[in-house]
Amino acid sequence: MSPSVRNIIAWILQALLAAAFIMSGFMKLKDIGKTVEMFGSMGLPAVVTYLVAGGELLGGIGLLIPRTVRPAALGLIIIMIGAVVIHATKIPEFIPKGLPALVLLALLVVVYLLRRPGTRLA
């Protein structure tokens, strides 16, 4: 894959993921009371709600800044691993409801790998 194609694919994915995470983080913070209640129903403390919502919002913004793409993707990967685990263990019907978390996790890993400096993907 040529560096220019890799760059175009990475930017498209970064923009789509940024929009998804900025919107998700904003919606969690907008209705923080219900979000804390939802996280609490899964046995998570309120502080986790604020960390996830803030992490999604800031991580989404970080995906749009070239110097922070990899750290932002890594932070969001950690959040999404947690989301996948929560969906698998606490939420019934894992496949239909947990599928978006799996897709976002996979796309974040792709961005992380595409933005690795000095490497070429075959």
Identify the band that residue 122 occupies on the pLDDT scale cut at 50, 70 and 90: very low
| 107 Cβ contact list (under 8 Å, min separation 6) | 13, 16, 17
> For the chain, which residues make up each domain, given as ranges?
3-113
Put simply, whether the predicted model's pTM sits higher than 0.95 gets the answer no
- Residue 81 clears pLDDT 80, i.e. is over it: yes
Q: CB–CB of 17/60 below 8 Å?
A: yes
Phi, psi of 115 (to 5 degrees): -95, 10
By CB atoms closer than 10 A (0-12, 13-18, 19+), residue 98 is: middle
Residue with token string 């919606």 = 27
Amino acid at 47: V
Q: Which stretches does DSSP call E strand in 1-122?
A: none
Supply the mean pLDDT for the chain.
92
Identify the band that residue 3 occupies on the pLDDT scale cut at 50, 70 and 90: confident
- Residue 95 clears pLDDT 80, i.e. is over it: no
pLDDT at 119: 54
